[in-house]
Amino acid sequence: MKKIGAVVLLLSLIIVSCEEKEKKKYLPESIGAINSLAVVMENELWEGKVGDRVRQHFAAPVLGLSWEEPLFTINQMPQKVFSGTILQTRSVLFIDKDTLSLAHIKTDVYATPQKVGVIKGRTDEEIISNLDAKADEIVKAFKEVEIQESQKRFLKSLSKETVLNDKLGITLSLPSIYKVGKQENNFIWIDRQIQKGSMNIIAYDIPNDYFKNDSTFVKDIVAMRDSIGKQYIPGPDVPGKITYMMTEKAFAPYVFPVEVANRKAAEVRGIWEINGYPMAGPFLTYIINDDKNNRKVVIEGFVFAPATEKRDDMFQLEAILKTVKFSDDK
């Protein structure tokens, strides 16, 4: 009898395990435009101070763009509307007034890949407090799943170009639509044409000791970019003027410590402009330590597209830059 009981228990565990695997296996694929966010909360909350705080966190301006564009394009709806295919939205923020007070992030609840931020509280003030405490973490989770989705879309058709590996010993997962425009010394410029301009990626390396003083780090970054722009990235022909890309003089760029390709790096976001000509746009730069080769590798994406929104173009460039790998890594 004991043996029979053990067999029955084992079979039960196998069946339960299989059922759990089946549930995970058959989650539908998530849907939605890149950087779209479903905010599920009652209209009364959305129209009051809770909704104001949601917009403050999740529709905050993206850093380093030419004009203000929100982090996410928000589609708010009450709970009764959150059904059907809307459940498959990739990034979801669920806010509710409840007897519970909590703030957490769930993964792959209704679809995969999916992130669901859940904020609950007994009062408006408690909801706002929980939201403030968890918002940065939720934004990071949403951004990561959106980056993954962006990469998934362009990984379907990749360039076979090897110039980055040949010149700098790095690789990027580049969509095949990107073409090499310039390669000179250790500088490489790759771009693609878009409806009203171009999306661009540049890469080069600098000596490991280029930045000698932490107190002048931002100033030295600007000097580095301006030197590269003057040497390799000319602007339009203007009689009597030398035009080239430089860092906007009016505002210092934003600089953050990050990790890229398992290496310490600096992330730089700001606005480029053309010396001697009224033209400007956003840029994103990663300065990556490569101590093994006694150097730093610089990869940058920038967009030229006058009078157009640039958030999603810059987001795709970020997704591409974050695929960087070093060829001598095992």
Q: What does the pLDDT read at residue 2?
A: 47
Per-residue tokens: 222: 């600007």
Average pLDDT for the chain: 92
Sign, Cα dihedral of 208, 211, 217, 219? negative
β-strand partners of 37:
74
Q: What does the pLDDT read at residue 18?
A: 53
Q: What does the pLDDT read at residue 13?
A: 53
**Model pLDDT for residues 227-282, shown as the tens digit of each residue:** 999 999 999 888 988 999 999 999 899 999 999 999 999 999 999 999 999 999 99
Q: What does the pLDDT read at residue 240?
A: 86
- Higher pLDDT: 233 or 329? It is 233
Q: What does the pLDDT read at residue 196?
A: 87
pTM: 0.90
262: left (phi over 0), alpha (psi -120 to 50) or beta: left
Percent of the chain with pLDDT over 70: 92
Q: What does the pLDDT read at residue 212?
A: 86
Tell me: pLDDT of 20 over 60.
Answer: no
DSSP of 300-315: EEEEE-TTS--HHHHH
Tell me: pLDDT of 28 over 90.
Answer: yes
- Residue 136: Cβ-neighbour burial (10 angstroms; 0-12, 13-18, 19+): exposed
- C-alpha torsion angle, residues 226, 228, 229, 234 (rounded to 10): 150
Percent of the chain with pLDDT over 90: 83
Q: What does the pLDDT read at residue 7?
A: 47
Q: What does the pLDDT read at residue 26?
A: 84
CA 270 from centre of chain: 15
Tell me: pLDDT of 188 over 70.
Answer: yes
**Model pLDDT for residues 50-74, shown as the tens digit of each residue:** 999 999 999 999 999 989 999 999 9
Average of per-residue pLDDT across 303-315 = 94
Q: Quick one: pLDDT band at residue 213, thresholds 50, 70, 90?
A: confident
Tell me: pLDDT of 296 over 60.
Answer: yes
- Going by DSSP bridges, is the β-strand pair 36-40/73-77 parallel, antiparallel, or unpaired? parallel
User: 234 near 246, Cβ under 8 Å?
Assistant: no
Tell me: pLDDT of 88 over 90.
Answer: yes
